[in-house]
Amino acid sequence: MKVAVVGAGSTYTPELVSGLSPLGVDELALHDIDATRRDVVGAMARRMLARDRFSGCIDVTDDLGRALDGADFVLIQIRVGGQEARLADETAPLACGCIGQETTGAGGLAKALRTVPVVLEIADEVRARAADGAWIVDFTNPVGIVTRALLDAGHRAVGLCNVAIGFQRLFARLLGVEPARVLVDQVGLNHLTWVRAARVDGADVLGALIADHVDDLAAQSAMAPEIVERLGVVPSYYLRYFYLHDEVLEHQRHATPRAQEVMDIERSLLELYRDPSVDTKPALLERRGGAFYSEAATQLVASL
């Protein structure tokens, strides 16, 4: 099985490759147009996979066609315009009294307008170069809009974010059970979703979770416990941009933009990745976000 990662210069890539070994991957292609990031992150990925005794072939390349040739799965995690464009998405709406965020609202729409045409170009190359029946797995935000565009264009694609698996793992921890026993019933469009049921061995325990652990659930949703109690479901933390619009807007006007925080974190991560002695995910990667990213991705690939 061949897996191609487009946008492999992302600092998320070590999180992703950490879960590939059990999938039976024979060939891994890591593609990026940024030579510095590609080489630094590619070398880090090689060390991690060597530590895991990965026996397959690893190709780090700037040639998209070569990366896609014969691929069974193509994982897309690009950021058109880089973090600098994200910074504009997060700050420009503030002047209009709107929340700045990269997946929803004005910022999310701006990102979609930049991103969708590029992703569709990549998808056309997938159709021409990848294996018959290849899947595109999109991690690129705004994942809902990007995935809808892929599906509307007739591509074999699925979008993935880590909100659902994050709630599943939280519920399992609060209940003291293995995550595999927890089935989350989530509705909505990424990233605007609600958990309306959580079943353990077939029985819905969401009501009990809200009654016994509302503070923990509210913390995960970044909202007040009263909101979760009133809703009777557990909202994604992205919904705070709507439920708590005025409060979030006021906070954003005085806070450091998330894009700036991420740029600082990424500089530090890339320095760590340059160290030839580093062959495991650094703890700093957790501050980048994307908890359970690898597990969600590998479980999805294994199920397709």
pLDDT in tens, 143-199: 999 999 999 999 999 999 889 999 999 999 999 999 999 999 999 887 889 999 999
Catalytic site residues?
Answer: 238
Half-sphere exposure of 92 (CA within 13 A, CB side): 14
- Spatial separation of the C-alpha atoms in residues 48 and 280, rounded to whole Å: 6
Of the candidates 5, 56, 55, 42, the one whose C-alpha atom is nearest the C-alpha of residue 276 is: 42
Computed on alpha carbons and rounded to an integer, the radius of gyration of the chain in Å comes to 20
Q: Say if residues 74 and 135 touch (Cβ distance below 8 Å).
A: yes
The fold of the 163-252 domain, in CATH, is: L-2-Hydroxyisocaproate Dehydrogenase; Chain A, domain 2 (3.90.110)
Beta partners for residue 183, in sequence order = 199
Mean predicted confidence (pLDDT) in 96-120: 96
- Spatial separation of the C-alpha atoms in residues 145 and 108, rounded to whole Å: 9
- The residue ranges of every structural domain in the chain are 2-161+290-303, 163-252
pLDDT digits (tens, 9 = 90+) for 202-252: 999 999 999 999 999 999 999 999 999 999 999 999 999 999 999 999 999
Question: pLDDT-derived band of residue 289, with 50, 70 and 90 as boundaries?
Answer: confident
In this prediction, what percent of the chain has a pLDDT beyond 70?
Answer: 100
What pLDDT score was predicted for residue 191? 82
Task: Tell me phi and psi for residue 177, to 5 degrees.
Answer: -125, 165
- Spatial separation of the C-alpha atoms in residues 4 and 69, rounded to whole Å: 9
- Spatial separation of the C-alpha atoms in residues 12 and 139, rounded to whole Å: 11
What pLDDT score was predicted for residue 189? 81
pLDDT digits (tens, 9 = 90+) for 41-62: 999 999 999 999 999 999 999 9
What pLDDT score was predicted for residue 20? 82
Q: Which has the minimum average pLDDT: 12-21, 69-78, 231-240?
A: 12-21
Mean pLDDT of the chain: 95
Q: Evaluate the CA torsion angle 300, 291, 7, 3 in order and state its sign.
A: negative
**CATH code for the part of the protein at 2-161+290-303:** 3.40.50.720
